[in-house]
Amino acid sequence: MNNTLSPIIIALDFSKPQQALEFAQQLGTHRCRVKVGKELFTRSGANLVETLVEQGFEVFLDLKFHDIPNTVAHACAAAAELGVWMIDVHAFGGRDMLLAAREAIEKFSPRPLLIAVSILTSLNENDLFALGLHGTLQDNVLRLARLTHASGLDGLVCSPHEIAPIRAALGQELQLVTPGIRPNLSVQDDQKRTMTPTQAVALGANYLVIGRPITQAADPLQALIDIEASLISA
């Protein structure tokens, strides 16, 4: 793993593989890790992921697997074969699914980091209530964080707002990956639980997933450099 990289993971939320590759190359392997999500993967398949890996990018393959344990285990092994740096599953898949995912990637060296998604950052408490989930957002995230930790995963995707309670409950063991990052909090898009990069890192986020604030910027490289500078000066 390249420890000189900043904590920023760029969400390559593009529809065309060529667009994604050119965008990643414009930023450079030395500057950031990249995330391939559902749209790009569904359109471009494993070839694009392999190309990014061959070019030297550390790739977070964000397919948020959520299925029966056997299916998720095989999907995780298939993802690990692509040589990616990080993969994820939904904590809502339950304990057996999390354990099966963990076991499936054990034999890979280096093995990808395996993290679980807690509650999507596009959801708020009204959404949880509509889903039949009782308790506060924080209660629900903490319950899933404990389950993820007890199942031996490396980390958790959560909103920056849940970092402090997770650290208080579970210490430093889980790597916390936070989307919902907005350098300018007045631009939320569809995210409902947002924070600035410096606030999230100060609270203890290990990685920041950033999409539109960089991909839609007039000058994406400058937008990335500005965020890096804000993190260093903080």
Active site residues: 64
Least distance to ligand C5P, CB of residue 10, Å: 9
CA distance 5 to 171: 24
Per CB under 6 A, does 111 bind ligand C5P?
A: no
For residue 198, how far is the Cα from the chain centroid?
A: 17
Per CB under 6 A, does 191 bind ligand C5P?
A: yes
CA distance 226 to 200: 16
Residues 6+ apart with CB under 8 A from 114: 76, 86, 87, 88, 89, 101, 102, 105, 153, 154, 155
Please select the residue that binds ligand C5P; options are 11, 48, 153, 231, rule is CB under 6 A.
11
What are the CA-CA distances from residue 160 to residues 110, 190, 206 (Å)? Answer: 28, 16, 11
Please select the residue that binds ligand C5P; options are 49, 141, 157, 231, rule is CB under 6 A.
157
Least distance to ligand C5P, CB of residue 124, Å: 13
Per CB under 6 A, does 120 bind ligand C5P?
A: yes
Least distance to ligand C5P, CB of residue 136, Å: 17
Least distance to ligand C5P, CB of residue 200, Å: 12
Considering the complex, state which of residue 106 and residue 225 has its C-beta at the smaller distance from ligand C5P. Answer: 225
What is the full DSSP assignment across 128-167? HHHTT--S-HHHHHHHHHHHHHHTT-SEEE--GGGHHHHH
Per CB under 6 A, does 155 bind ligand C5P?
A: no
Residues 6+ apart with CB under 8 A from 71: 65
Q: How many helices (H) and strands (E) in the chain?
A: 10, 8
Please select the residue that binds ligand C5P; options are 89, 117, 176, 205, rule is CB under 6 A.
117
Interface with ligand C5P in residues 35-64 (CB under 6 A): 37
Q: Which residues bind ligand C5P (CB under 6 A)?
A: 11, 13, 37, 117, 120-121, 157, 179, 189, 191, 209-213
